[in-house]
Amino acid sequence: MPRLYESRKRILVTGGAGFLGSHLIDRLMAQGHEVICADNLFTGTKRNIEHLHNNPRFEFMRHDVCNPLKLEVDEIWNLACPASPVHYQYNPVLTTKTSVMGAMNLLGLAKRLRCPIFQASTSEVYGDPEVHPQREDYWGHVNPIGTRACYDEGKRCAETLFFDYHRQHGVKIKVARIFNTYGPRMHPRDGRVVSNFITQALSGEDLTIYGDGSQTRSFCYVDDLIGGFLKLMDAPESVTGPVNLGNPHEFTMIELADRVLNLTGAKVKVVHQPLPSDDPKQRRPDITLAREKLGWVPKVELPEGLRHTIDYFRALV
Ligand code: NAD
Ligand code: UDP
Ligand code: UDP
């Protein structure tokens, strides 16, 4: 439902044509706001937002966040950045630029407009963690010169910029550290484990487990995650984050493969391939802070979330 003009916000979402961005935009539009989606369509696609094109409260602009942007908005969400190893390693220099220059330009915009700004940070700031589960006060274990560094260090530097703009210029910041999230509109060829396993199972190919499959991840369903984003933005100004958002239930890649095979009924095998370099061995969020400060806990567990995601990929494949 559109809101009355006075209570309507004009909101900028960068990376809005991507997986998470398009779900966020759906929720903001459903709240009756006006949304400007700025995206260079590197990994995003117009298909994710095409259902909004006839809505007068929605606007798409092709824009690279490495460049300055002059607009008048009430709120900024910065999600622009390739997010899967395949995509962020395709042009690693551009990945770091996107995180760092993107953050700087959007913080400059937020400073001029005196408006709140959200940063989609990541559990990758913890690197290959030596502390388990990960709490926000853990500083991380990142290889600064490895193949994941373009993403990890770019996101770490973006967090630094957010906190320095906050301390130095009083910018209202909201920093979320997002753990592995999955759901409809994931890019089918982004190489992430959930999309890989599902598309493989649906097309009758063997599931590729990297390494022995004992490494763990904790998977959050997209609707839960976006609920956390909105609660963080709505929280009092003093709640700046960083705050972990993710589902604390942890699975090995072998367990995930089993679940996908069960739910799809695919009669394929599991094959092992080499583990990529710097691949974290384990990852699970400690979400105490999100629970206490935001009253947020994820509700959708893996079988249900996988079912929705499989339905989406079935229609796509
Ligand atoms: P995605 O690749 O689907 O979305 C990223 C979007 O950013 C795409 O639409 C892409 O075209 C756009 N983009 C990339 N570079 C850009 C640039 N220079 N200028 C403008 N737009 C640009 O990935 P996603 O999973 O939706 O991730 C969204 C954000 O959340 C990213 O910042 C990512 O780092 C973060 N994140 C995601 C996850 C996850 O599990 N999905 C986990 C941690 C963090
Ligand atoms: N910026 C922008 N839009 C604005 C204001 C600033 O894109 O409305 C960019 C600006 O081009 C600069 C960056 O944000 O590159 C940081 O701006 P800030 O004002 O903090 O720094 P300065 O311009 O003084 O370097
Ligand atoms: N992985 C896998 N098979 C695949 C794709 C990924 O076993 O086809 C593994 C990968 O090595 C990692 C885990 O699954 O240990 C999660 O990978 P993803 O790229 O989804 O996320 P990230 O490593 O960024 O957490």
Concatenated DSSP letters of 266-280? ----EEEEPPPTT--
pLDDT of residue 7: 86
pLDDT of residue 314: 96
10 Å Cβ neighbour count for 265? 7
pLDDT of residue 223: 98
Q: How far apart are CA 102 and CA 151, in angstroms?
A: 13
pLDDT of residue 3: 77
Buried-state track 280-311, b at ≥16 Cβ within 10 A, e below 16: bebbbbbbebbeebbebebebebeebbeebbe
176 three-state secondary structure = strand
Ligand 1: which residues within 6 Å by Cβ?
14-15, 17-21, 39-44, 64-66, 79-83, 98, 102, 120, 122, 178, 180-181, 187
Q: Which atom of ligand 2 is nearest to the CA of 169?
A: 20
Tokens 């567990």 — which residue?
A: 301
pLDDT of residue 177: 98
Among 142, 179, 193, residue to substitute to test ligand 3 (most atoms within 8 Å of Cβ): 193
Among 112, 161, 165, residue to substitute to test ligand 2 (most atoms within 8 Å of Cβ): 112
Q: Which ligand is nearest to the CA of 171?
A: 2
pTM (predicted TM-score): 0.97
* Helix pair angle (92-113, 149-169), 10° resolution: 20
Q: Which residues of the chain have pLDDT under 50?
A: none
